[in-house]
């Protein structure tokens, strides 16, 4: 299995809703990432999990709450989002440990989020 | 200074021509370099990686790395309309825990 699976593919939510994005990989990668991408912009790093521990939080608002229940799963919990949070949310994974520096990230297909 | 710089384009080439995409990086501590292709509305797809000086070829794609000049490029030979996409250059720095730094991307259009 060489894929990162993200669900749902599309999500429309109101500003008072609570929803979660899910990401799963079975490549044995011990680093997992959440990125946000707006149209015609590069992906913007939000969170990094390394060995299931949060290692980087790029000053993301608290209405985004990541969770890594185990080495294969990554969630992003959403609450009280704003219309400007509408974007493509990408999950990625990569190996850790010796030799990992020469491996790229594998991206999931993304969740297209619209906040209304 | 940005970690990674790319010409945003758009770059247009006729079908069958060579497309040349360029990227510069600021930190000599950068160790690994990657090219991603991203179609509109889709996620980035890794197409090439390179970490040694010189050229690396894979089918119609050639990545070139010059660490002295802090320059990495991607050549696409015999360009096809299906190559029309945004190409993202990414740099990995071991000193920051293998964190990725993306360029802003170059939009390529191959004209039939």
In SS3 terms, A38-99 reads as CCCCCCEEEEEEECCEEEEECCCCCCEEEEEEECCEEEEEEECCCHHHCEEEEEEEECCCCC
> What pLDDT is recorded for position A70?
94
Cβ-defined contacts of B93-98 (< 8 Å, 24+): B93/B3, B93/B27, B93/B29, B93/B30, B93/B31, B94/A101, B94/B29, B94/B31, B94/B32, B95/B29, B97/A48, B97/A50, B97/A55, B98/A31, B98/A94, B98/A96, B98/A100, B98/A101
**Are the C-beta atoms of residues A87 and A38 closer than 8 Å to each other?**
yes
User: Which of A41, A101, A109 is nearest residue B32 as measured by Cβ atoms?
Assistant: A101
* Length of chain A counted residue by residue: 116
Cross-chain residue pair B104–A43, CB shorter than 8 Å: no
B47 contact partners, CB below 8 Å, separation of at least 6: B35, B36, B37, B58, B61, B74
Q: Average pLDDT of B56-74? A: 96
* Length of chain B counted residue by residue: 112
Burial A48-67 (b: 16+ CB within 10 A, else e): bbbeeeeeeeeebeeebebe
> What pLDDT is recorded for position B67?
93
Chain B residues with CB-CB distance to A56 below 8 A: 99
If you write DSSP's letter for every residue of A14-33 in order, what string do you get? -TT-EEEEEEEE-S---EEE
Determine phi and psi for B95, rounding to 5 degrees: -65, -20
Whole-angstrom Cα distance, residue A25 to residue A30? 10
The pLDDT mean for chain B works out to 93
How many angstroms away from the CA of A16 is the closest CA of chain B? 26
> What pLDDT is recorded for position A113?
98
Whole-angstrom Cα distance, residue B80 to residue B37? 14
Range with lowest mean pLDDT among B5-19, B57-71, B96-110: B96-110
Chain B residues with CB-CB distance to A41 below 8 A: 104
Cross-chain residue pair B100–A112, CB shorter than 8 Å: no
> What pLDDT is recorded for position B103?
94
Q: What is the pLDDT of residues B13-55, one digit of tens each?
A: 999 999 999 999 998 877 899 999 999 999 999 999 999 999 9
> What pLDDT is recorded for position A103?
86
pLDDT lower than 70: segments of chain A: none
Whole-angstrom Cα distance, residue B54 to residue B65? 5
Residue to test with chain A: of B56, B65, B100, most A Cβ within 10 A:
B100
User: Which of A42, A50, A110 is nearest residue B102 as measured by Cβ atoms?
Assistant: A42
> What pLDDT is recorded for position B99?
79
Q: Choose among A102, A116, A95, A93: nearest CA to A47.
A: A93
B86 pLDDT more than 90: yes
CB proximity A50 to B under 8 Å: yes
Q: What is the pLDDT of residues A60-86, one digit of tens each?
A: 999 999 999 999 999 999 999 999 999
């Amino acid at each position: 299995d060489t894929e990162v699976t993200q669900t749902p593919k599309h999500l429309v939510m109101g500003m008072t809703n609570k929803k979660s994005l899910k990401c799963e990989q079975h490549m044995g990668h011990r680093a997992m990432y959440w990125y946000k991408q707006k149209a015609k912009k590069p992906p913007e790093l939000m969170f990094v999990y390394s060995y299931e521990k949060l290692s980087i939080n790029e000053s993301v608002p608290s209405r985004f709450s990541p969770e890594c229940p185990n080495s294969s799963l990554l969630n992003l919990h959403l609450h009280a989002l704003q219309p400007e949070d509408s974007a493509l949310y990408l999950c990625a994974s990569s190996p850790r440990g010796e030799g990992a520096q020469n491996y790229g990230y594998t991206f999931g297909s993304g969740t297209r989020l619209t906040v209304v | 200074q940005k970690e990674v710089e790319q010409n945003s384009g758009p770059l247009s080439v006729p079908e069958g021509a060579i497309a040349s995409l360029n990227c510069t990086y600021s930190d000599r501590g950068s160790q690994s370099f990657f090219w991603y292709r991203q179609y509109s509305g889709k996620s980035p797809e890794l197409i090439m990686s390179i970490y040694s000086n010189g050229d690396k070829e894979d089918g119609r794609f050639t990545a070139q790395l010059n660490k002295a000049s802090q320059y990495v490029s991607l050549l696409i030979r015999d360009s096809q309309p299906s190559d029309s996409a945004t190409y993202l250059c990414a740099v990995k720095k071991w000193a920051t825990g293998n964190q990725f730094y993306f360029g802003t991307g170059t939009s390529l259009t191959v004209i039939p």
